[in-house]
């Protein structure tokens, strides 16, 4: 299975933790909301993505399988 | 069995300008509801026929109708059918026309779809301002026996017809889009698998069930078969709802609408999330998505708005951008901030503030930051319409950036921009039996 990071934009409140924990896939726009790169996650990046998901105060970061 | 209509009209056959067709008149025109065998586990004869017909949804997204029915069958739970008659695209009148004049055609499609997915209940959702349509549906429901049909009236808002917002509202939640998945087909009204279909889509279902896929495909294009309803608005002599074969010329439709009533600047195709065509393109434009794609346009909700030469395209664009921002459900950061910022930039260009190039670069950047980043397609649609206006009316924008407001700016706007506000986040189940 390949996994990708996704953000629930309704839940997101622009805390910005995800961009610090997963800068390879998430950057912030000028308002502080995440711009997500949906390429697949492997190895260490997958670990970082899971950490970002766990650390989001509003649980807006999702690691999705497809 | 009544002979199927050859050519056009199909849906609009037998329409009575004085009022809705009674059940008796409807059966006289189209014949009785055909009996189709019940749903099996994974499919049904109706779904297979819709698949062969290649029927695409007519609410704007153009999703294959058969796939939606299949998704509902595949989901766990007791299915329900939700007829989307919200028609919140401000210039569109086609769904209203069907509900007001031909309610039984729509209800036939809903009842047949319900049988195909094994649903025992149908909700018909109509927007608050469409009072006469609601009355007509209520009267039509009273004439029919069989499965439970309920009318629901929903508040006026651009996103009221967005299927997740509608399903949320009818479940007692907010009239705002929700994050997907789950899609309504999986978990919709009251978390039940919900078949949400546009009014016109269901009217086509009623005819395909009677006359078959081969008949349906006799009009339209290979990729976009059949006929479709369009609403012609703006600078034509006879604005209104027309039935076309997909792939037919835009010029022919405008002629059918009495021709343009004055010199024309451009045409907005689809609706407020659609794309503008310059007047010079009218002669070479065909009305189907594959042909329109070259111009970045699509049929969407079927609105064709003709903008008069004397109007200010820049002012119309600025007002539309502001209105689309006002219709955000204000849940997703990029949509809230992006659409507000874009509306501000366009308003500044319209007034002639600042040099053109920096303003346009900022608009491009904001557009790419805004599109594709909401839970629903609203920011994408708003950006699409805005960017197409900038391309199509480039000389007019140039003029404004240099010289500020023009003489035409003072005229009242041509686009209809209703003062809708989303209801406070207190959902309510507004069903009328």
Query: Could you tell me whether strands B431-432 and B148-154 are parallel, antiparallel, or unpaired per DSSP bridges?
Result: antiparallel
Proportion of chain B in helix, strand, coil states, percent, rounded to 5: 45, 15, 40
- Contact at 8 Å (CB) between B295 and B304? no
Please give the structure tokens belonging to residue A1.
Answer: 């299975």
Q: CA A7 to CA B423: how far, in whole Å?
A: 26
List CB contacts (< 8 A) between B337 and chain A.
31, 33
In the structure, what pLDDT confidence band is assigned to residue B433 with cuts at 50, 70 and 90?
very low
- For residue B355, name the pLDDT band (cuts at 50, 70, 90): low
Picking from A10, A38, A56 by the largest number of B CB atoms within 10 A of its own CB, the best residue to mutate is A10
What share of chain B has pLDDT > 90, as a percent?
A: 88
> B6 falls in which pLDDT band (50, 70, 90)?
confident
**Those residues with Cβ within 8 angstroms of residue B358's Cβ, 6 or more apart along the chain or in another chain:** none
**B90: phi > 0 → left, psi -120 to 50 → alpha, else beta; which?**
alpha
DSSP annotation of B428 reads -
Query: What's the mean pLDDT in B310-332?
Result: 97
Quote the radius of gyration of chain A (alpha carbons, Å).
Answer: 11
Please determine, for residue B97, whether its predicted confidence score (pLDDT) is greater than 70: yes
Q: Chain A partners of B164 at a C-beta cutoff of 8 Å? A: none
Nearest CA in chain B to A64: B181
Q: Is the pLDDT of residue B428 over 90?
A: no
Number of H helices and E strands in chain B, helices first, is 15, 10
Mean of the per-residue pLDDT values for chain A?
Answer: 96
Which of B373, B374, B378, B380 would you mutate first to test chain A, the one with the most A CBs within 10 A? B373
Give whole-number Cα distances, B400 to B186, B306, B369, B388, B392, in Å. 49, 22, 25, 17, 14
Helix (H, G, I), strand (E, B) or coil at B78: coil
Q: Is residue B425 over pLDDT 70? A: no
Q: What is the pLDDT of residues B262-276, one digit of tens each?
A: 999 999 999 999 999
CB B382 within 8 A of CB B325: yes
Of B37-46, B130-139, B154-163, the one with minimum mean pLDDT is B37-46
Give me the pLDDT at residue B423, please.
72
Confidence at residue B38, expressed as pLDDT on a 0 to 100 scale: 64
**What sign does the CA torsion over B379, B97, B84, B86 have?**
positive
Per-residue pLDDT averaged across B355-382, rounded? 92
pLDDT tens digits, one per residue of B183-219: 999 999 999 999 999 999 999 999 999 999 999 999 9
How high does pLDDT run on average in chain B? 94
pLDDT in the model for residue B190? 97
Give the model's confidence band at B81: pLDDT under 50 very low, under 70 low, under 90 confident, else very high: very high
Question: To the nearest whole angstrom, how far is the Cα of B288 from the nearest Cα of chain A?
Answer: 32
Q: Give yes or no for residue B358 having a pLDDT over 90.
A: no
Percent of chain B predicted with pLDDT > 70: 95
Confidence of residue A66 (pLDDT cuts 50, 70, 90): confident
pLDDT in tens, B27-69: 999 999 988 666 666 778 999 999 999 999 999 999 999 999 9
Asked whether residue B245 carries a pLDDT value surpassing 60, the answer given is yes
**B180 chain-A contacts, CB cut-off 8 A:** none
How close is the nearest chain B Cα to the Cα of A33, in Å?
A: 7
Supply the pLDDT for residue B39: 62
**What is the pLDDT averaged over residues B373-394?**
97
Q: For residues B425 and B67, which has the higher predicted lDDT (pLDDT)?
A: B67
State the pLDDT at residue B352. 85
């Amino acid at each position: 299975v390949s996994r990708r990071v996704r953000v629930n934009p309704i839940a997101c409140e622009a805390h910005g933790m995800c961009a610090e924990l997963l800068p390879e896939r998430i950057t912030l726009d000028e308002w502080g909301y995440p711009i997500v790169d949906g390429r697949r996650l492997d190895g260490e990046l997958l670990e970082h993505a899971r950490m970002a998901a766990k650390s989001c105060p509003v649980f807006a970061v999702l690691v999705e399988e497809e | 069995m009544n002979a199927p209509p050859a050519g056009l009209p199909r849906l609009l056959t037998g329409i009575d300008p004085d009022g809705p067709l009674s059940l008796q008149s409807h059966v006289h025109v189209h014949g009785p509801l055909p009996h189709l065998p019940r749903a099996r586990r994974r499919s049904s004869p109706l779904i297979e026929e819709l698949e062969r017909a290649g029927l695409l949804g007519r609410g704007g997204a153009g999703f294959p109708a058969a796939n939606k029915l299949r998704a509902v069958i595949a989901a766990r739970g007791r299915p329900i059918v939700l007829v989307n008659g919200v028609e919140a695209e401000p210039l569109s009148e086609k769904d209203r026309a069907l509900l007001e004049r031909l309610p039984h055609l729509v209800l036939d499609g809903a009842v047949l779809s319900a049988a195909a997915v094994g649903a025992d209940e149908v909700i018909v959702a109509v927007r608050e301002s469409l009072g006469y349509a609601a009355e007509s549906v209520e009267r039509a429901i009273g004439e029919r026996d069989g499965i439970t049909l309920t009318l629901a009236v929903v508040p006026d808002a651009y996103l009221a017809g967005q299927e997740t917002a509608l399903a949320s509202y009818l479940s007692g939640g907010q009239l705002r889009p929700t994050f997907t998945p789950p899609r309504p087909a999986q978990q919709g009204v009251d978390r039940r698998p919900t078949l949400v279909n546009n009014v016109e889509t269901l009217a086509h279902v009623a005819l395909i069930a009677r006359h078959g896929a081969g008949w349906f495909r006799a009009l339209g294009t290979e990729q976009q078969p059949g006929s479709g309803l369009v609403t012609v608005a703006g600078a034509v002599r006879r604005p209104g709802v027309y039935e076309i074969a997909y792939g037919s010329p835009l010029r022919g439709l405008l002629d059918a609408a009495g021709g343009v009533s004055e010199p024309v600047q451009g045409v907005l195709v689809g609706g407020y999330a659609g794309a503008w065509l310059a007047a010079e393109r009218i002669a070479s434009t065909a009305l189907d998505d594959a042909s329109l794609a070259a111009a970045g346009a699509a049929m969407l909700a079927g609105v064709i708005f003709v903008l008069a030469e004397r109007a200010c395209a820049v002012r119309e664009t600025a007002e539309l951008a502001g209105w689309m921002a006002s219709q955000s459900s204000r849940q997703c950061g990029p949509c809230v901030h992006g659409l507000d910022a874009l509306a501000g930039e366009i308003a500044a260009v319209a007034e002639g503030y600042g040099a053109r190039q920096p303003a346009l670069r900022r608009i491009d950047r904001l557009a790419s930051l805004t599109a594709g980043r909401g839970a629903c397609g609203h920011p994408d649609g708003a950006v699409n319409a805005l960017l197409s206006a900038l391309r199509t009316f480039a000389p007019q924008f140039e003029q404004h950036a240099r010289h500020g407001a023009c003489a035409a700016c003072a005229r009242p706007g041509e686009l209809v921009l209703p003062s809708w506000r989303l209801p406070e986040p207190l959902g309510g189940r507004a069903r009328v039996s």
